[in-house]
Amino acid sequence: MPDDLDLRVRLAAFAFLGREAARNGGVFPAAVLREGFEFEGQHVRLTGPQGIFKPAILPDFPISITTAPIREGRPRPYDDGFDRDGTRLFYRYRGEDPMHHENVGLRGLIKARRPLIYFHGIVKGADIAAWPAFVVDDDPKRLCFIVQLETADVGAAISDLPDDAEAPIRRRYATREVRVRLHQEAFRARVLRAYRQRCALCRLRYETLLDAAHITADADPMGEPQVSNGIALCKLHHAAFDQDFLGIRPDHVVEIRLDVLRERDGPMLLHGLQQLHGARIWTPGRAGWDPDRVRLEERYERFRSAR
């Protein structure tokens, strides 16, 4: 079993991430994670070149696991992923040897019941963090570990909680919530990066006022979190797009609904919507990033039916 140093380092890492999340909105630059923090005179990094990472200060077990970001058109080096209902994360072994020292380290966390951090890459150089995470099982046949998240309000003694009857329910709920957040944040970050942090209609560049609008709705079975299923829009134009006040044709030309064009309601309506009628949206101009034509056709038909 690890001594108290192990737990103290982990809790210090959680506190560090909490402070950094308050500064950066929950998206962590890779450089911040590589730099890490100071603990009792020693430097503690949180990530390294491999997905399973143990800083030198810890004697036995890793402090973090990382899933690489999706890069359009390229497979991830490891096929990590959540199950169908989002209540478990399948985290792949390092290589195919169950006895690789990094796999042994993760396996040890099951018995030790010590928490770690899950980093999920959203774009190159940026991650979202979820903690505390627990390795709850090992599946050698599938060459993966099963990881679940805990709720943040369980307190500092998270690793010492008994496995009470509520723990499985609590962890399923927390893991599902994290999956939804990761899905949304990753999609937004990739779409905004593709559109150079500006609205495709009005060119607004204030990132806090920008959204990644789905062409095919997120709840739809075909609503994959791909850049080609999104368009960067400011909050005004995102709302107008979702409410079918405006439509985007497959040739990227904007149409404003007829009743909205006829409305007289001041300069915001005139400049914010009506003057966009017949304009073309700005697109990244890169294969795999431009709006998918088939999806636009389907979405445009919905707009036409609402006119």
> For residue range 16-63, what is the model confidence (pLDDT) as tens digits?
999 999 888 788 999 999 999 999 999 999 999 989 999 999 999 999
Q: How many domains does the chain have?
A: 2
Q: What is the pLDDT of residue 35?
A: 94
Query: Residues 302, 244: contact at Cβ < 8 Å?
Result: yes
- Do residue 164 and residue 35 come from a single domain? yes
Query: Residues 207, 197: contact at Cβ < 8 Å?
Result: yes
The rounded distance, in Å, linking the Cα atoms of 230 and 225 is 8
Nearest to 241 by CA among 295, 186, 181: 295
Domain boundary among 150, 167, 191: 191
Q: What is the pLDDT of residue 24?
A: 82
- Do residue 162 and residue 109 come from a single domain? yes
Query: Residues 77, 93: contact at Cβ < 8 Å?
Result: no
Helix boundaries (H) for the chain? 4-24, 30-35, 101-112, 167-194, 235-242, 258-262, 267-272, 293-306
Domain boundary among 191, 225, 260: 191
Beta-sheet pairing, 64-67 with 116-123:
parallel
Query: Residues 87, 172: contact at Cβ < 8 Å?
Result: yes
Q: What is the pLDDT of residue 74?
A: 63
Residue-wise pLDDT tens digits, 223-247: 577 899 999 999 999 999 999 999 9
The rounded distance, in Å, linking the Cα atoms of 58 and 88 is 26
DSSP 8-state symbol, 65: E
- Do residue 12 and residue 112 come from a single domain? yes
Q: What is the pLDDT of residue 73?
A: 61
Domain boundary among 191, 215, 247: 191
Query: 85 is in which domain, residue-wise?
Result: 4-191
Q: What is the pLDDT of residue 154?
A: 47
- Do residue 76 and residue 180 come from a single domain? yes
- Do residue 272 and residue 154 come from a single domain? no
- Do residue 230 and residue 260 come from a single domain? yes
- Do residue 129 and residue 264 come from a single domain? no
- Do residue 15 and residue 72 come from a single domain? yes
Instruction: Count other Cβ atoms within 10 Å, centred on residue 138.
Output: 16
Helix, strand and coil percent figures for the chain, each rounded to 5: 40, 20, 40
- Do residue 203 and residue 186 come from a single domain? no
- Do residue 127 and residue 220 come from a single domain? no
DSSP 8-state symbol, 291: P
Which residue is listed with tokens 């134009």? 237
- Do residue 95 and residue 35 come from a single domain? yes
| Ranges under pLDDT 70 in the chain | 1-3, 72-79, 152-165, 219-223
Q: What is the pLDDT of residue 181?
A: 86
